[in-house]
Amino acid sequence: MTRSYVIKPELGKTYPFISRGKGIYLFDQEGKRYIDGCGGAVTASIGHAVDEVAEAMYAQAKEVSFAYRSHFSSDAVEELGAKLAEWAPGSLNWSFFVSSGSEATETAQKIAIQYWQEKGRPTKNRIISRWMSYHGITMGALSMSGHVLRRKRFVPLLEDYPAITGPYPYRRPEGISLEDYALQCANELETAIKRVGSEQVAAFIAEPIIGASGGAVVPPDGYFQRIREICDQYEVLFIADEVMTGVGRTGKAFGIDHWGVVPDLMTLGKGMSAGYTPMAATIVSDEIIETISKGSGLIMAGHTYSANPQSAAVSLAVLKYVEKHQLIEKSAQQGAYLLSRMEQLAEEIPLIGDTRGLGLLCGMEFVKNKDTKEPFPLSAGVASQVIAKAFEKGLLVYPAIGGLDGVAGDSIILSPPLTITTEEIDELIHILRDAILAVQQELQE
Ligand code: PLP
């Protein structure tokens, strides 16, 4: 092929062509092998080319792939809804299916606003979010996101929602204990609600573990418990954005389960169908559905592909695979091993300032000065260089770049398929070490 008519992420750059995948590996058309150290975009969580999923996909396609949700439900969709109700905590029993994480968070935003309207409180329509956050690329989702790099061209078009600081233990003020820091950050929500007025606030949205804008930043214990208390006190719904952290990625079914907190709404994407077909969901509580049922009875959201049987069958096969192979437990075990190997690298290599994570969602932050934690300027593109070098050497890692300009966002995420073995982690670490050492060498020259 000589000429491309496809708009690529970086215009003018040449990308290798994918040929096939198996387990944690991908192969391009030149025969080069890559370890999928980040499941693409923290997505391919059960590995590539799993037979059971391919079979479920084919079986559904032979019957019917698409039937519009305003005309029909289907066995696949109903079974998937029931499975998610089983998995999700508390009374989060109701799934609204969409096709991407952005659609899921934007649907959560809409349902939260509609809930208060149905209760006769239409002024409760603003969403509080956090500066270091990413909830999606559509305008509603971007309005709730703090990700500086992704927002900046569109700021005049975005809702001017209030935002608070997300806990970032590595860069917390000196001398403060983690316990106090957790409360300090959570209490910012109370301050923001009081400033805006609780009669204006519909919901608070947060990722249980900060992904694309921070690089697997884990909050201190106590943070989400306090957030839940504040939300209850001021009648603000809590939306847990589990698009990256859901479906076993962090060693629990959902990221928020680490703190035993039950949100009012939860969003899923990525690992929900593990990359086999586009699929995402907004899961909401009994109370929300009962309120809307008693009111208009109609949720004003949805897309053409919402709840299509084809994607539902695939997602169901993925969830069953996760259960059958105990991948949530494996994520916890293998994640602890991966993090320990990353910590060894950090002891050896001065460029690595911090390593962190839960389960197989791990992050690594690069710094100019390890003692002072001084970051590189974003323009130095250190994480990008590591990513490029790793790619060259056959390892894919995910960027967490530009989340908070000049403060956070020179990090990478390691999030391989939950099926990864100890030997495969050793292989991944070996390549990563070579890549980071090569970048460190270049920076010193
Ligand atoms: N929410 C979170 C936490 C994410 O990490 C992402 C994507 O990275 C999204 C939402 C948006 O998902 P999508 O890219 O599928 O629209």
The percentage of the chain sitting over the pLDDT mark of 90, rounded to a whole number, equals 93
Atom of ligand 1 nearest to the CA of 212: 5
For the Cβ of 101 lying below 6 angstroms from any atom of ligand 1, the answer is: yes
CB 135 near ligand 1, within 6 Å: yes
Res 407 pLDDT > 80: no
- Tokens encoding 77: 């969709």
φ, ψ (nearest 5 deg) of residue 436: -70, -40
Q: Which two tokens stand for residue 199?
A: 């009669």
ipTM above 0.85, yes or no: yes
Determine the average pLDDT of the residues in 387-410. 87
Q: Whose CA is nearest to atom 12 of ligand 1?
A: 101
Is residue 86 left, alpha or beta, with left meaning phi > 0 and alpha meaning psi from -120 to 50?
alpha
Is the CB of residue 106 below 6 angstroms from any atom belonging to ligand 1? no
Ligand 1 contact, 269 CB (< 6 A): yes
pLDDT at 1 over 90: no
**What's the 438 CA to ligand 1 centre distance in angstroms?**
31
- What is the chain's length? 445
Say how many Å lie between the CA of residue 344 and the centre of ligand 1: 30
Confidence label for 402 from pLDDT (cuts 50, 70 and 90) = confident
Task: Take residue 117 and report the two structure tokens written for it.
Answer: 């309207």
* Ligand 1 lined by 109 (C-beta under 6 Å): no
Instruction: Determine the atom of ligand 1 nearest the C-alpha atom of 278.
Output: 15
The CA distance from 280 to 264, in Å, is 17
Quote the pLDDT of residue 206. Answer: 98
Of all atoms in ligand 1, which is nearest to the CA of residue 241?
Answer: 3
C-alpha of residue 104 to centroid of ligand 1, in Å? 9
CA of 212 to the centre of ligand 1 (A): 8
CATH numeric code, 53-324: 3.40.640.10
> Hey, whose CA ends up nearest to atom 13 of ligand 1?
101
The answer, yes or no, to whether any atom of ligand 1 lies below 6 A from the CB of 266, is no
Ligand 1 probe mutation, 130, 217, 239, 243, most atoms within 8 A of CB: 243
Q: Is the CB of 105 under 6 A from ligand 1?
A: yes
Is the Cβ atom of 134 under 6 angstroms away from ligand 1? yes
CA of 305 from ligand 1 middle (Å) equals 18
DSSP-assigned beta bridge partners for residue 282: 96, 267
For residue 292, is pLDDT > 70? yes
Where are the chain's structural domains?
18-49+326-444, 53-324
- Mean pLDDT, range 1-25, rounded to an integer: 93
Residue 241 beta carbon below 6 angstroms from any ligand 1 atom: yes
Backbone phi, psi, residue 60, to 5°? -70, -40
The residue-averaged pLDDT of 397-408 equals 79
Rounded to the nearest 10 degrees, the angle between the axes of helix 101-118 and helix 286-294 is 60
How far apart are alpha carbons 172 and 194 in whole angstroms?
24
Average pLDDT, stretch 210-233?
A: 97
pLDDT above 80 (res 405):
no
Name the closest-CA residue to atom 5, ligand 1: 244
Q: Give the H or E element holding residue 355.
A: strand 352-358
Residue 322 CA to ligand 1 center (angstroms) comes to 21
pLDDT score recorded for residue 351 = 96
Angle between helices 327-348 and 309-324 (to 10 degrees): 70
37 alpha carbon – ligand 1 mean position (Å): 18
C-alpha 302 to ligand 1 mean position (Å): 17
Phi then psi for 411, rounded to 5 degrees?
Answer: -130, 165
Nearest-CA residue for atom 1 of ligand 1: 135
Q: What is the CATH number of domain 18-49+326-444?
A: 3.90.1150.10
Condensed to tens digits (0 to 9), the pLDDT of residues 100-123 reads 999 999 999 999 999 999 999 999
Name the residue of 135, 142, 265, 272 whose CB sits within 8 Å of the most ligand 1 atoms, as the mutation to test its pocket. 135
Nearest partner of 54 among 314, 324, 419, judged by Cα = 314
In the chain, how long is the greatest CA-to-CA distance?
Answer: 68
Banded model confidence at residue 408, pLDDT cuts 50, 70, 90: low
pLDDT for position 403: 73
pLDDT above 90 (res 43): yes
pLDDT given at position 22: 98
- Sheet hosting strand 18-22, strand order edge to edge: 18-22, 25-28, 33-35
Per-residue model confidence as pLDDT tens digits over 330-342: 999 999 999 999 9
Give just the sign of the alpha carbon dihedral 222, 224, 225, 226: positive
| Binding site membership of 211 for ligand 1 (Cβ less than 6 Å) | yes
Nearest CA to ligand 1 atom 14: 101
Distance between CA atoms of residues 44 and 105, nearest Å: 20
The crossing angle, in degrees rounded to 10, of helices 422-444 and 327-348 is 30
What is the whole-number distance in angstroms between the Cα of residue 401 and the centre of ligand 1?
A: 15
Task: Check residue 255 and give its pLDDT.
Answer: 98
